[in-house]
Amino acid sequence: MRSELFKRFTSSLFLMSLIFLSALINDYIFLSLLFIVVIFSWVEWIKIIEKIKFKKIYSIIHIILFLIYLLMAFVICFNVFVIDKYFFLSILMICVFSDVGGYIFGKTFKGKKLTKISPNKTISGSIGSFILSYIGFFLIYLYFSDLLFVRLQIEVLVFIPFFISLICQSGDLFISYYKRKAKIKNTGNLIPGHGGLLDRIDGSIFALPIGFIIISLF
């Protein structure tokens, strides 16, 4: 467990540093990186679908619909980043801490399984995701407080980590469901301790765009 935790921590730290540095140094570099993530995610999704015994027409539909979703997600994230990149990074950190919290709490406390879709997911891990989401969000949000353009009421801020983490966990389960049908553990081996890129950002690609849409309603 320590070895896996170390790999997961170092990978998360590296990716988090890469995201922050690219976003703070140059907007175009960050957005280019974001687009590359979209392409790699789609390629890994294709590999998952190819391993599932769908009829050809269903495979094509799955592949096209996921690409459309990824492009829509990119557009939404692009617009939010342009409006306020510090707010964007604050929300992104919820996804990062949600993932790390789920892994640490799940491995430490174990306990009852959350769902049959992903046997490794536990209720304790889910609770840990929510807890660390709040910690991560408010640490980053307060750090960027003087630079933020988007200002929300405290009542809204209190619920944001919960909703984002909930969507993040649901997105994780969604991808896990397809990996289970494809009979694979990881979508690739690009990132040590995580597997493929889609293994790492499975929750984020759903939580960020959907979360921003929900936040825009307030």
Domain boundaries, the chain: 2-216
- Could you tell me which residue, 190 or 101, shows the higher pLDDT? 101
**16 pLDDT exceeds 80?**
no
Distance CA 50, CA 123 (A): 31
36 C-beta neighbours (distance < 10 Å), count = 11
For residue range 51-92, list pLDDT tens digits in order. 998 889 999 999 999 999 999 999 999 999 999 999 998 999
- Could you tell me which residue, 178 or 26, shows the higher pLDDT? 178
**2 pLDDT exceeds 60?**
no
Structure tokens at 134: 């709040």
For residue range 103-155, list pLDDT tens digits in order. 888 888 888 888 878 777 889 999 999 999 999 899 888 888 888 887 778 87
Tracing tokens 């997961």 back to the chain, one arrives at: 8
pTM of the entire structure? 0.89
Structure tokens at 9: 């921590």
Distance CA 17, CA 94 (A): 15
Tracing tokens 């510090």 back to the chain, one arrives at: 86
Distance CA 110, CA 102 (A): 10
For residue 195, the cross-strand partners are 191
DSSP 8-state class, residue 1: -
